[in-house]
Every structure is written in structure tokens, then in C-alpha cells.
Amino acid sequence: MKLIFIRHGRTAGNLEGRYIGRTDEPLCSAGRAELERKSYPAADTVVTSPLLRCTETARLIYPDREPIICDGLRECDFGEFEGRSYDELNGTPAYQSWIDSGGEMAFPGGESKRGFCERCAAAFEALLPTLSGATALVAHGGTIMAILERYAVPKKEFYEYHVENGGGYITEWDGVLRITERL
């Protein structure tokens, strides 16, 4: 089965370098324009996070497909860091503690990396039996990194699967994800 992982287009928060997780932010005009200039592989089915930036991206890329919404593909809950930038957080004790943990501790008032990755894996596993043919999963950078870290071969660390807005991976699923191309 072919699975196409696509990160949503740019938002104002992305342009400003902000932690945007649970905020339901739309695409910005630059993000829409970037998506319209790119070409993406055909998909029989489109699955998205419920957040606006993902559903808008899916509708721009695949206007003839009604996206299936999967709540478990939401971005990480950044808690107290939500909507704030590195410059705003740098030097604060809470942010320094999170940095010192290598990003492993829970965001204050939010999710831990482990809990987030477990949620994404559970959502992905629940989706698999319902999919066939070529499926596009339009989600968040963190969501894509979590799923690939768990299922892709060869194994890589979470941050090694970072993907830019509008980018992604084309994979084949046969019990593991085999990356065939980067978008």
C-alpha cells in the first residue's frame, strides 16, 4: 500500500517561528501559494488531522477527495509554550528545563514527546485496516516524525524525519514503512 505523508502548508505562526500545536490556525497566503506551485502524487484516499491548516492543505492538493478526519493525527499539545517563539521562551526556567531534557519531558501543561508519539502511533495503527490503494495523510511535522520514527526503515531518530511545510515522504507499507521518495 502506498502512503503519502504531507506536512500542511505554512501558517502565520510557522512564519514567525512559533510553537503551534493545538491552535487551529489557517494557512497564510504564502502557504497557499507554495502549495499551489507544487505537484503531489495522486491519492485514492485522503486522511487529515482535524486542524484547519491540514484540512485546507488537503483540499488544495486533492480538491476532488473529501478528507477523512482523524483526531489522533493532531499536532503535539505544547501547553504553556503554545503560540510562543524561541525568542519569547529563551532563558525562562521552564523552557530551559525542557531543552535540558532533550525535548523528552512534557511541555508544561501539555503533552510529553512519548505520549504524543504513542497517540500518533495508535491513530496510525487504527487507520491501517481501513486503507487501501494510495493514501495521502496530511498532518503536522511532529505527527509525521512520530509515525516514521516508529515504523520506517531504516530506523532513524524522531528529528531526523523533519519535513518542511508542504513537504513529505512517499512510502510503501508492508508491515513497515519503506520510504521511496521525499517530496
Enumerate residue ranges in the chain where pLDDT < 50.
Answer: none
The one-letter amino acid code at 118 reads E
Domain interval for residue 157? 2-182
Q: What CATH number is given to the structural domain containing 135? A: 3.40.50.1240
55 to 23, 84, 91, 107, 136: CA distances (angstroms): 14, 23, 35, 26, 12
Q: How is residue 165 written as a grid cell?
A: 511545510
Decide: 48 and 69 in contact? Cβ < 8 Å. Answer: yes
- What are the cell numbers at 122? 495508535
Taking the C-alpha atoms of residue 26 and residue 146, their distance in angstroms, rounded to an integer, is 23
pLDDT tens readout for residues 97-146 = 999 999 999 999 999 999 999 999 999 999 999 999 999 999 999 999 99
Residue pair 31/9 in contact (Cβ under 8 Å)? The answer is: yes
- pTM summary value: 0.96
Number of domains in the chain: 1
